[in-house]
Structures are given as C-alpha cells and as structure tokens.
Amino acid sequence: MIVRRVLNNSVVDALDDAMREVIVLGRGIGFHAHPGDHIDPASVEKVFRLDDSAQGTHLAQVAAHVPADILRATDEIVTLARDRLSERLSDSIYAALADHLAFAVQRAREDVDLASALEGEVRRFYPNEYAVALEALAVVERATGTTMPSAEAANVALHLITAEVGGGDGSAAALTTFTRDVLDIVRLRFGISYDDADPAYARFATHVRYFAQRVLSGTEIDRDDADLMNVLREQMPRVFAVIDRIDAYTRDVHDHAMTSTEKVYIAMHVSRFV
C-alpha cells in the first residue's frame, strides 16, 4: 500500500495493491509519512475497505479529525454489531458512528448529558440493537478512559438502526416514531397496555416496524387481497375501524395509502389484542 495523504499521525488515506482507496490505521503510521511512501505492513493495525467510494471519502473526512482511539472503538463496535445482529449493516456506519462517538466522548468529559427523546421506544422496539449499544459504551470506555452515560446507548442504537435500514427517509428516528405512532393508535383505541414480554406484542411490534420501513422507503406489498379484506372487515368491524385510523395516519403524515394486503396483515395482528 502507498500513502495518498496523511490524515493524522495514526491514520492515512492510501491505495492498496488493487489501487483501491483505503483508510489505514496504525500507531505513528502517519508520522513523517508523505504521499507516495510505501506503508510498512508491520505498522498497520486496521484497514478500512469500503465498497462505496463516497463512503470511503466520507470516512476519510471524519478520520482526519477523529482521534485514533475512537476509530479503533468504532471498528470494534461495528464488528460486534455485525456478529450479533441479523440485519446487514451499511458501511455508512463507520463514518457516522465515529463522528458521533467523538462528540459523545467530548460531551461526557464535559458532563453534558444529551439523552435521546426516543430512548424508551428504542429500548422497547429494538432490544437487540439496544443491547449491542450498551456493550458499545463499554468498548468506548475501554478505548478512551471516559465513562459514558447509559442514556447514550439509545443514540448509538439509533445509528445501528439507521445503518440497517439504509438511512434517508427511513432513518432510525423516523422509523421509531412511525412505529410508536401506529402502536399508540391501537393502544388508545382499545384502552390496552402492552406487555413487552407478550409474544403477540413482540410479533405485532416487529410487523409494524417492517411496515413502517416499507412506507418510509417508498415500497409496498400489494397482492390484491381486496376480497379477503372485505370478508374480514365484516367479521371484525372494531379491528377495521382501527385499520382505517392507521390508514388515515399514513395518508396524512406519510402520503401513503395502505394496500389491501397491508390492511389484512395489520388487522390479523391487531385482532389478537381485541
């Protein structure tokens, strides 16, 4: 590998043997290095090879001002998340999470606590991501020697969720808010309380989350289940009164008219709470 540019004493932007741009991490690897220099393999700790060149450029920009210990922690957290979570993580997680952690550590050192307004929803709807985020705080503490507030776990989890769904309009905050709103429509309509330990609730929340993801990404499932929907509407009028309310919400807030297939799927889950 050869150096393209030095980002700091521990990080360089380089070209690998296939002439692909990579970000190389190593203690002192950038010290006295110059463009065109060959990199000693023994000094390399980590090589970031990102499939998307735009993501590589973004990571290079972030790596230029983020401490090396944060980059090491970020890599360890991404490796942990990819091992623990079933969803594939976009490479965008590297730059976004490293940038966030750098500021989070700074806030922690200054005793500034910026808790996520969606902490309860993240913990409830995304328990796996939240569990990984709690472990991530321990990784950051070991790497930086800074004690992180537990409330920061929700913020880290939101970055993991965003990387799973690809960002954009399907960002973690929007996805979590959508899921919460639909669950609240059902809860308030029937005057029920959800039990996080109830398998029926877990399945319902998961289905609503996938429904939210499709709506926010502009995709839908439509197998023309109008006949089945009409039969179920006659059999379960109370349930479909709620479905109509959810449909009104998706139309008004997200400009999405629910398909007959979506209505049937949601109705079958809602019926378990009536």
On whether the 2-49 domain is CATH 2.30.24.10, my answer is yes
Residue 199 to residue 27: CA distance in whole angstroms: 49
Say which CATH superfamily domain 68-165 falls into: PRD domain (1.10.1790.10)
pLDDT at 170: 52
Lowest-pLDDT range of 117-126, 161-170, 241-250: 161-170
Do the domains 68-165 and 172-273 sit in the same CATH topology, yes or no?
A: yes
Q: What is the pTM of this model?
A: 0.72
Helix ranges (DSSP H) in the chain: 53-63, 68-84, 92-109, 119-125, 127-144, 152-165, 172-190, 199-217, 226-235, 237-254, 260-270
pLDDT score of 216 more than 60? yes
Token representation of residue 206: 């998961």
Question: Span 207-219, mean pLDDT?
Answer: 86
Of residues 30 and 241, the one with the higher pLDDT is: 241
Map out the domains of the chain as residue ranges. Answer: 2-49, 68-165, 172-273
Give me the percent of the chain exceeding a pLDDT of 70. 96
235-241 mean pLDDT? 94
**Structure confidence at residue 52 as a pLDDT band (50, 70, 90):** low
| 178-209 pLDDT per residue, tens | 999 999 999 999 888 888 778 888 888 888 98
Q: CA-CA distance, 152 to 158, in Å (whole number)?
A: 10
Residues 6+ apart with CB under 8 A from 122: 116, 129, 130, 154, 157, 158, 161, 172, 176
* pLDDT tens, position by position, 94-140: 999 999 999 999 999 988 777 676 788 888 888 999 999 999 999 99
Q: How far is CA 143 from CA 8, 66, 77, 148, 191, in A?
A: 18, 13, 11, 11, 47
Q: Check: CATH 3.40.50.300 for 172-273?
A: no
Tokens 């929700």 map to which residue? 154
